[in-house]
């Protein structure tokens, strides 16, 4: 087998060297450009997150979120089906009006699904509003469903009715959106009739009920829905 003369190898190396250098420089330049783009994107995302966080994520709301997420199965577990306020580690120690006030800044991204008396069934207007609010995620991490009952009827019955309403929303989401992470995103809280009743100021929210269905008993046969994105 003939050997390649050294002078030929030298010529080949001489020709390849500039090509290899240009290739390495081009690759390094490309990596640097990608790194700079990633850093700029990261800074933009942080800025957006901080801005969103400042809008409604007060220390009080974050405290409620931690309690509910931990107690209702979204943190430190494989996902949960919700809980009552007393199970959520002192959530109920906050006055009802103060609890409701935490959600006021989320009026534009939240909604109130109103149920018929003694019912936990979703009608077409309920599902339409639920789908609309859920679809407008905007990068948020947790979808809250806070169900209530009016003060008509027995307390125990209203507690169970409130729970059924929260689960009705969850069941609809599970049937409509094929998302394996749903159980880790949706936090359910049922308040019954004793805690955090809504007042007429919530008539201004987007609701599934008509204009004439805004008496306190109408508002509290409901489930409050909203995506919440707070850094905990």
Q: Smallest Cα–Cα separation from 143: which of 228, 74, 26?
A: 228
Q: How confident is the model at residue 228 (pLDDT cuts 50, 70, 90)?
A: confident
Identify whether the C-beta of residue 173 lies closer than 8 Å to the C-beta of residue 130.
yes
More confident of the two residues 73 and 120 = 120
- The whole-angstrom separation of Cα 52 and Cα 50 is 5
For the cut 60, the answer to whether the pLDDT of residue 16 exceeds it is no
- Percent of the chain as helix, strand, coil, to the nearest 5: 55, 10, 35
pLDDT band at 88 (very low <50, low <70, confident <90, very high): low
pLDDT of residue 10 exceeding 70, the answer is no
Query: Does the pLDDT of residue 163 top 80, yes or no?
Result: yes
For 55-67, the pLDDT digits (tens) are 778 888 787 777 7
Q: How confident is the model at residue 78 (pLDDT cuts 50, 70, 90)?
A: very low
Q: Which contacts (CB < 8 Å, 24+ apart) does range 18-24 have? A: none
Tokens of 88: 């959520």
Q: Coil, helix or strand for 227? A: strand
The pLDDT value recorded for residue 185 is 84
Q: Which residue has 């149920």 as its token pair?
A: 115
Give the residue, 71 or 135, on which the prediction is more confident: 135
Give the ranges where 57-122 is alpha helix by DSSP (H).
59-71, 96-101
């Amino acid at each position: 087998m003939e050997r390649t003369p050294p002078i030929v190898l030298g010529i080949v190396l001489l020709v390849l060297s500039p090509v290899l250098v240009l290739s390495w420089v081009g690759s390094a330049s490309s990596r640097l450009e990608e790194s700079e783009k990633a850093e700029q994107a990261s800074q933009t995302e942080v800025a957006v997150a901080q801005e969103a966080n400042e809008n409604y994520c007060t220390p009080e709301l974050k405290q409620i979120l931690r309690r509910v997420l931990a107690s209702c199965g979204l943190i430190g577990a494989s996902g949960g089906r919700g809980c009552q306020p007393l199970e959520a580690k002192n959530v109920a120690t906050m006055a009802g009006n103060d609890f409701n006030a935490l959600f006021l800044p989320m009026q534009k991204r939240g909604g109130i699904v109103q149920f018929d008396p003694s019912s936990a069934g979703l009608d077409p207007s309920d599902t339409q509003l639920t789908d609309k609010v859920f679809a407008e995620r905007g990068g948020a991490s947790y979808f809250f469903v806070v169900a209530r009952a009016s003060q008509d009827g027995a307390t125990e019955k209203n507690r169970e009715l409130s729970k059924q309403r929260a689960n009705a929303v969850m069941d609809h989401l599970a049937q409509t959106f094929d998302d394996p992470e749903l159980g880790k995103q949706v936090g359910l809280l049922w308040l019954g009739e004793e805690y955090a009743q809504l007042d007429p100021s919530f008539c201004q929210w987007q609701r599934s009920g008509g204009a004439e269905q805004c008496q306190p008993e109408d508002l509290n046969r409901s489930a409050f829905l909203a995506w919440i994105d707070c850094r905990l």
